[in-house]
Structure 1
Amino acid sequence: MTPNPLLHALIPLVDDLSRELPERERYRRLLQALRVLLPCDAVALLRLEGEWLVPLSVNGLSEDTLGRRFRVREHPRFQALLASATPTRFPADSPLPDPYDGLVLGARGDLQVHDCLGCPLLVDGQIWGLLTLDALSPGRLEPVDLASLQAFASLAAATVRVAQRIERLVTRAEGEFQRAESYRLAARERPHSLIGQSPSFLKLLEDIALVGASPLSVLISGETGVGKELVAQAVHAASPRAHRPLISLNCAALPETLVESELFGHVVGAFSGAVSDRRGKFELADGGTLLLDEVGELPLTVQAKLLRVLQSGQLQRLGSDREHRIDVRLIAATNRDLAEEVRQGRYRADLYHRLSVFPLHVPALRERGHDVLLLTGYFLEENRSRLGLHSLRLSGDAEAALLAYSWPGNVRELEHLVARSALKAYGRRRDDSRILTLSAEDFALNGDAPAPAQAEPPPEPAPVGDLREAVERFERQQINASLQRHQGNWASAARELGMDRANLRRLARRLGVV
């Protein structure tokens, strides 16, 4: 008797329902079985999160697809699939653009998807997501029995339900259910916030979930551009304070004279220009979370006052002797090694220990392996939408170049590079093709080295006989060059030049440096 192929494919998956498997492995096996059972070139499992469809697992699609976030209203095929209670088959000549055009592995040139069908997944009577099948050849999916796909979709929904229940049980066993639930809710609101599957990044996500519901102060460290602010937002979203404000202050963006006022507020007449009472960031964040970004740039005098507020829970506005009690959860972020700053006497040890009760380190992008492609996929989808394209994809040599690059500017550099490369490639199009492929040449990455910085102009010769003018000219050139290297950040420039930030500003004003 010939075995039923559907039954043959389903039995191992039913057996998997009773086994403890990681969620990603469970979904991978599901799509692998579907790919074996039905004639197609690619399958995908997507979860509906608000107005977005988020790929959880793919088979036959490019790796960067996992980093993409598809806005449903921009993709009419997804809209049609979600609106139907049963599987939907699109004709090979359908005029609707396919979200996977150019993303199917093995596609050459601008080959588009010609056959597509999909099915909504219902979990507890609600649409949870989609199961999609695609083929490059017209008519390839004609033999697919929609009833078989519906049966497979039901099993997929059961798999999702089991994965969710296992996750809840494990979370309860660890005593973190409430924390994880609030974090998942926050992730649904911002499905694109934190993207990555590398071990170091998954460890960071675990630590965020762990510290989220606690009142502990958090110190987020990491290089410039790694996404420290997004991590702070995730910690806040995972806390019981998520319904309260998250207030941010960039400590490096303010003159020293204004930092104290911004933190603690002031009353009318406290200083020249204080024409009315003003609440500081601490009071604005009362009941919620305060993020002090670039906290390593705080002057020592302000560090002492900040420590007193953290110890007592009370503050005084500038010019007032009235105390205000506050309830604030503090998150600090820095790209400096504060422990080393303490050893060098540039940072208070007691404040450092108060801030770093629970340290979180955000790994550099070069340490995250193939997360580069997932993040690239997200940025490609963003730019595809902006440019009005059907597909914006990577060539094989582009993927290799992105993986080989060291990313000194981290995720921020990647974001800007993708946007710049996509726009340039779009401007060079010689036809009206709606599928655009970015090559390694478009990214212009020179092996493992960052793009060369703009050369500084050679110093002008000092005029003979006027030593003071020569010294001032040299000082002006050095300050301008340092500010240019640090994108106008006075605190960083002062550190490089070995000066106090306030003294550097005074010298710059005297020299006429803008």
Structure 2
Amino acid sequence: MTTSHILNAVIPLVADLAQEMPERERMRRLLAALRTLLPADAVALLKLEGEWLRPMAIDGLVPDALGRRFRLAEHPRFAQLLAAGQAMRFAPDSPLPDPYDGLVAHQGQPIAELHVHDCMGCVLQLGGLPWGLLTLDAMQPGRFADAASLELLQAFSNLAAATVATAERVQQMAQLAHSACSIGTIKAPSDRVLLGHSPAMRRLQKDIALIAGSDLSVLITGETGTGKELVARAVHAQSSRAAHPMVSINCAALPDNLVESELFGHVRGAFTGAQTERSGKFEQAHQGTLFLDEVGELSLPVQAKLLRVLQSGQLQRLGSDREHHVDVRVIAATNRDLAAEVSAGRMRSDFYHRLNVYPLQLPSLRERDSDVLLLAGYFLEENRSRLQLGGLRLDGAAQAALLKHTWPGNVRELEHLISRAVLKALSRQDASASRGRPRMLTLRTDDLEIGPGPHMQQPPQPEPTSMPATTTSLRDAVAAHERALINASLKRHHGSWAAAARELQMDRANLQRMAKRLNIEKS
């Protein structure tokens, strides 16, 4: 390779360091330059996050690779690269499994059943500490055999580190601008993270960064399965309250007779069974965040009792006259149209406006373009790790099917579909193999079962009921019809009163009172 060739690839990257540009574009240019210098079929930039490596940018790999996270303990090649501290190459006959087997793309499609035969990589150092890895893979053995390839990669790693440092400084400055009032340490809320590069997700992430720096109440709305709790945790994690607890409560699971006790606490003897004094969820979330999931399920009397604490932070434990003051940021979530609930009289307007100070509308998976494959990659890697498989991939037809599907159940449907498909493919493979699990498991469209089926059906309609032949009055006929509808709905939803109430478009407490009047026993 000539000096001019090297300069032509490197000089634009040096110029980019002084330019403002999106992080993804900066990383894309970095990898594109690397592929012009070294004859790789695929390159990737991975960031070290504790015991995981997360792809930040890829070139030459299938799209779902960007959604995967690689645990170091399960990928010895990555662990060796980090331990080496410098550029190193693995021999084509290395017995160590390659994390990218089956993930290298050819014209946008994965190369079926071919494995990486030559790979090398190096550590990126920032401030004397390992930031992550640059990896290069080739399908042809011996592609990186010459010593010059290692030397060039090691030299390029310094420029790559400068590019990464610039991107991180830009990101940090943006975060400071959004949350100048934030203090404390931001903790990772859970293993699950918000993934997505679609315009809809970028808008959502900007809104989260904007609202996180304030103490305004947030109302998260969106279809079932869109990840409302993940958004709530992201808001909390980026706020000044991140060092304090985030307490979650599922409003649909609150028994009517224990709502006040759960939310506000109680004193000893407040009711039968109250043997000790107990704080409620609001006090447990003091100086932190209280997440009210399925807030649309709260009855009107409970909404009225919540208004005071939302307005002033004052509450009384059940059975006590003593006031307690709490400093709590409230985040609520629902898949209902709460404005319509107010119009229908099932929600107090003052309670609704207390919650809806800053609304966050979550996009459905149908609105998120190629995020489907990124999320699929995340769930594929989860299943690969859980089932201890060598490799897990989607064939081209399966990728196309995922992109074409309308996803009525959103991200949760995708997660469950991938998990089922992996088990089906594993069962199919085990039935055809004489021994051991396969090195590479490929999911096909028949494993996904996407198409007309139970998950595509319309929501069940109330079952038709016939009028009792012995009815002697209109009141008896109406009661019989109501009883049949409620029983049928409860049967469909396996005894869930909250789900039945949603289907019948009633408040749950009102439904249970009606059931009591109609002599329908609770299961």
TM above 0.5: yes
Task: For structure 2, list consecutive stretches of 5 or more residues without a partner in the other structure.
Answer: none
Whether 2:126 is the aligned partner of 1:123: answer yes
Task: Provide the C-alpha distance between the structure 2 equivalents of 1:117 and 1:228, rounded to a whole number of angstroms.
Answer: 40
Cα deviation 1:259-305 (Å, max 9, x = unaligned): 12211112222223323222111111111111111111111111111
Task: Return closer, same or farther for 1:248/1:397 CA change in 2, 3 Å cut-off.
Answer: same
Task: Return closer, same or farther for 1:215/1:338 CA change in 2, 3 Å cut-off.
Answer: same
Give the conservation status (yes or no) of the 8 Å contact 2:178–2:213: no
Task: Provide the C-alpha distance between the structure 1 equivalents of 2:416 and 2:364, rounded to a whole number of angstroms.
Answer: 16
Task: Provide the C-alpha distance between the structure 2 equivalents of 1:498 and 1:195, rounded to a whole number of angstroms.
Answer: 33
The structural deviation recorded for 1:309 is: 1.3
Whether 2:83 is the aligned partner of 1:76: answer no
User: Which AA in structure 1 matches 2:486?
Assistant: I
Correspondence for 2:445: 440
Task: Return closer, same or farther for 1:491/1:394 CA change in 2, 3 Å cut-off.
Answer: same
The structural deviation recorded for 1:392 is: 0.8
Correspondence for 2:509: 502
The structural deviation recorded for 1:45 is: 0.3
User: Which AA in structure 2 matches 1:497?
Assistant: L
The structural deviation recorded for 1:156 is: 0.3
Task: Provide the C-alpha distance between the structure 1 equivalents of 2:174 and 2:263, rounded to a whole number of angstroms.
Answer: 41
User: Any idea what SS the aligned residue of 2:253 has?
Assistant: coil
Pick the aligned partner of 1:511 from 517, 520, 523: 520
Whether 2:59 is the aligned partner of 1:59: answer yes
Task: Provide the C-alpha distance between the structure 1 equivalents of 2:125 and 2:222, rounded to a whole number of angstroms.
Answer: 41
Alignment of 1:374-413 (within 5 A): 374-413=374-413
Correspondence for 2:171: 167
Task: Return closer, same or farther for 1:167/1:315 CA change in 2, 3 Å cut-off.
Answer: same
User: Which AA in structure 2 matches 1:338?
Assistant: L
The structural deviation recorded for 1:505 is: 3.1
Correspondence for 2:262: 262
Correspondence for 1:491: 498
Task: Provide the C-alpha distance between the structure 1 equivalents of 2:458 and 2:15, rounded to a whole number of angstroms.
Answer: 57
User: Which AA in structure 1 matches 2:508?
Assistant: R
User: Any idea what SS the aligned residue of 2:331 has?
Assistant: strand
Using the aligned pairs only, state the percent identity: 60
TM-score, reference length from structure 1: 0.92
Correspondence for 1:145: 149
Task: Return closer, same or farther for 1:312/1:456 CA change in 2, 3 Å cut-off.
Answer: closer
Alignment of 1:15-414 (within 5 A): 15-106=15-106, 107-143=110-146, 145-172=149-176, 174=177, 176=179, 179=182, 185-187=186-188, 190=190, 192-414=192-414
User: Which AA in structure 2 matches 1:11?
Assistant: I
Task: Return closer, same or farther for 1:156/1:472 CA change in 2, 3 Å cut-off.
Answer: same
319-328 or 482-491, larger mean C-alpha shift: 482-491
Task: Return closer, same or farther for 1:347/1:465 CA change in 2, 3 Å cut-off.
Answer: closer
Task: Provide the C-alpha distance between the structure 2 equivalents of 1:456 and 1:218, rounded to a whole number of angstroms.
Answer: 33
User: Which AA in structure 1 matches 2:152?
Assistant: S
User: Any idea what SS the aligned residue of 1:342 has?
Assistant: helix
Task: For structure 1, list consecutive stretches of 5 or more residues without a partner in the other structure.
Answer: none
434-443 or 44-53, larger mean C-alpha shift: 434-443
Task: Provide the C-alpha distance between the structure 2 equivalents of 1:513 and 1:474, rounded to a whole number of angstroms.
Answer: 18
The structural deviation recorded for 1:411 is: 0.8
Task: Provide the C-alpha distance between the structure 1 equivalents of 2:302 and 2:393, rounded to a whole number of angstroms.
Answer: 49
User: Which AA in structure 1 matches 2:414?
Assistant: L
Q: What's the C-alpha RMSD, in Å, of the aligned pairs?
A: 2.7
User: Which AA in structure 2 matches 1:113?
Assistant: V
302-311 or 450-459, larger mean C-alpha shift: 450-459
Give the conservation status (yes or no) of the 8 Å contact 2:88–2:122: yes
Task: Provide the C-alpha distance between the structure 1 equivalents of 2:263 and 2:522, rounded to a whole number of angstroms.
Answer: 28
Give the conservation status (yes or no) of the 8 Å contact 1:406–1:448: no
Task: Provide the C-alpha distance between the structure 2 equivalents of 1:373 and 1:366, rounded to a whole number of angstroms.
Answer: 12
The structural deviation recorded for 1:417 is: 0.8
Task: Provide the C-alpha distance between the structure 2 equivalents of 1:403 and 1:61, rounded to a whole number of angstroms.
Answer: 17
The structural deviation recorded for 1:165 is: 2.2
Task: Return closer, same or farther for 1:169/1:291 CA change in 2, 3 Å cut-off.
Answer: closer
User: Any idea what SS the aligned residue of 2:142 has?
Assistant: coil
User: Which AA in structure 2 matches 1:412?
Assistant: R
The structural deviation recorded for 1:477 is: 5.1
Cα deviation 1:216-239 (Å, max 9, x = unaligned): 111111111111001111111111
Task: Return closer, same or farther for 1:4/1:500 CA change in 2, 3 Å cut-off.
Answer: closer
Cα deviation 1:97-154 (Å, max 9, x = unaligned): 1111110002533111111110000011110000000011211222352110001111
Whether 2:489 is the aligned partner of 1:482: answer yes
Task: Return closer, same or farther for 1:176/1:465 CA change in 2, 3 Å cut-off.
Answer: closer
The structural deviation recorded for 1:59 is: 0.4
TM-score, reference length from structure 2: 0.91
The structural deviation recorded for 1:7 is: 2.6
Task: Provide the C-alpha distance between the structure 1 equivalents of 2:247 and 2:86, rounded to a whole number of angstroms.
Answer: 46
Task: Provide the C-alpha distance between the structure 2 equivalents of 1:208 and 1:182, rounded to a whole number of angstroms.
Answer: 18
Cα deviation 1:176-209 (Å, max 9, x = unaligned): 3565x979x545x656411001111111111111
Give the conservation status (yes or no) of the 8 Å contact 2:296–2:338: yes
User: Which AA in structure 2 matches 1:388?
Assistant: Q
Task: Provide the C-alpha distance between the structure 1 equivalents of 2:207 and 2:47, rounded to a whole number of angstroms.
Answer: 24
Cα deviation 1:64-94 (Å, max 9, x = unaligned): 1111111111111110011111111111111
User: Any idea what SS the aligned residue of 1:327 has?
Assistant: coil
User: Which AA in structure 2 matches 1:128?
Assistant: W
Task: Return closer, same or farther for 1:481/1:75 CA change in 2, 3 Å cut-off.
Answer: farther
Task: Provide the C-alpha distance between the structure 2 equivalents of 1:339 and 1:388, rounded to a whole number of angstroms.
Answer: 47
The structural deviation recorded for 1:499 is: 4.4
The structural deviation recorded for 1:249 is: 1.0
User: Which AA in structure 2 matches 1:123?
Assistant: L
Task: Provide the C-alpha distance between the structure 2 equivalents of 1:495 and 1:195, rounded to a whole number of angstroms.
Answer: 30
Cα deviation 1:282-331 (Å, max 9, x = unaligned): 11111111111111111111111100111221101111111111111111
218-227 or 102-111, larger mean C-alpha shift: 102-111
Task: Provide the C-alpha distance between the structure 1 equivalents of 2:464 and 2:215, rounded to a whole number of angstroms.
Answer: 53
256-265 or 87-96, larger mean C-alpha shift: 256-265
Task: Provide the C-alpha distance between the structure 1 equivalents of 2:13 and 2:168, rounded to a whole number of angstroms.
Answer: 16
Give the conservation status (yes or no) of the 8 Å contact 1:182–1:238: no
Task: Return closer, same or farther for 1:167/1:513 CA change in 2, 3 Å cut-off.
Answer: closer
For this pair of structures, how many residues does the alignment match?
510
